[in-house]
Each structure stands twice: as structure tokens, then as C-alpha cells.
Amino acid sequence: QAVVTQEPSLTVSPGGTVTLTCGSSTGAVTSGHYPYWFQQKPGQAPRTLIYDTSDKHSWTPARFSGSLLGGKAALTLSGAQPEDEAEYYCLLSYSGVGVFGGGTTLTVL
């Protein structure tokens, strides 16, 4: 099974910008991996922020965006808010089989 890698932790200042990345042990991440990004807060179920690399749900704040960057999937948060402090997970698809990354703990400080 492929291994999906994420930064274990990142810190961003309120109002600042941060980029979380998602890499694959099999090589470059492409749109064919249909990257997803999830946000999870303590005691809650995850919720999807981004699907298919860069598509957003209606509830996804405009300050979040998804892209492919340097062979990885990326989630960029522009204008961080205190409520964005959470765990973030990416999910890649390998011919229909999903693999989550280990998650990034984002601190807004």
C-alpha cells in the first residue's frame, strides 16, 4: 500500500498564509489521485474542505484552496482564523483505493 506523507505540524499567525502538502511514496501526485482535504476538530467527525484537487463544497471558506504544487497536493490557507486550528488530512486515491496521510496539526498562534 502506498504511503501518503504530510507535515506533522505547522504553525501560522492569525491573518497569515500557510501551505500544507501531501506527497505520495509512488511518485508525483496528480489529478488522477483525486486529492481530498479534510478538517477535523477534537471530538468531531471529519469534514471535507477540498475534493478532486481544488473543488470546494458550498461550506468551504474561501480562504482555503487546493492545488498541485511541486509533485504534491497542496492546501493553502490564506488569512488564517483562530477557528482554523485543527487537524488536516489529505486523502489520495490509488485506482479506487484510498489512503490517508498521517495528518497535519495546524496551530494558529
Partner 1 sequence: EVQLVESGGGLVKPGGSLRLSCAASGFTFSDAWMKWVRQAPGKGLEWVGRIKSKSNGGTTDSAAPVKGRFTLSRDDSKDTLYLQMNSLKTEDTAVYYCAYYRDSTAIHYDYWGQGTLVTVSS
Contacts to partner 1 by CB under 8 A: 1, 38, 40, 45-48, 51-52, 55, 57, 87, 89, 91, 96-103
Phi and psi at residue 52, to the nearest 5°: 50, 55
Q: Which residue, 16 or 102, has its beta carbon nearer to partner 1?
A: 102
Cα–Cα distance for residue pair 109/16, rounded to 1 Å = 10
Cβ-contact 90, 2 below 8 angstroms: no
Q: Which residue, 6 or 12, has its beta carbon nearer to partner 1?
A: 6
What's the closest the beta carbon of residue 12 comes to partner 1, in angstroms? 20
Cα–Cα distance for residue pair 46/101, rounded to 1 Å = 14
Cβ-contact 106, 20 below 8 angstroms: yes
Q: Which residue, 1 or 83, has its beta carbon nearer to partner 1?
A: 1
Strand-strand pairing, 86-94 and 72-78? unpaired
What's the closest the beta carbon of residue 13 comes to partner 1, in angstroms? 25
What's the closest the beta carbon of residue 19 comes to partner 1, in angstroms? 20
Q: Which residue, 68 or 99, has its beta carbon nearer to partner 1?
A: 99
